[in-house]
Amino acid sequence: QVPLVESGGGLVQAGDSLRLSCAASGRTLSTYPMGWFRQAPGKEREFVGAITWRTGSTRYADSVRGRFTISRDNAKNTVYLQMNSLKAEDTAVYYCAAGLRLYVTREADYWGVGTQVTVSS
């Protein structure tokens, strides 16, 4: 079984919104904090945000704060990334991730295969 399954990427216009989903499988994995990362062309992979299952506490990169929102549905073992007011610079491959220390260190132990988000201006 694939541990992390992402969906929701696509092509949108600047100012539009998009919601990404990530389903986590396995009891151990579903207890790990979850996060989103992205990698734009020619740039290093960067942290976007993270969330904990128990409390729903969230953290965000400065570049997306106020525009992106991470949430979770514990019953579905699914984490969401709601992206609003998208900008061209948000264009990247977005990766779902899970990690024991992810919420604190931004280090991931498991990765999804990524989903492309393209924002046209």
- Angstrom CA distances, 51 to 16, 56, 57, 104, stand at 24, 6, 5, 10
Q: What is the pLDDT of residue 30?
A: 73
Q: Is the CB of residue 47 less than 8 Å from the CB of residue 37?
A: yes
Q: Is the CB of residue 119 less than 8 Å from the CB of residue 13?
A: yes
Q: What is the pLDDT of residue 3?
A: 85
Q: What is the pLDDT of residues 30-50, one digit of tens each?
A: 789 999 999 999 999 999 999
Q: What is the pLDDT of residue 93?
A: 98
Q: What is the pLDDT of residue 25?
A: 84
Look at 84 and 3; give whichever has higher pLDDT.
84
Instruction: Specify the amino acid at residue 23.
Output: A
- Angstrom CA distances, 35 to 76, 90, 103, 119, stand at 16, 16, 8, 21
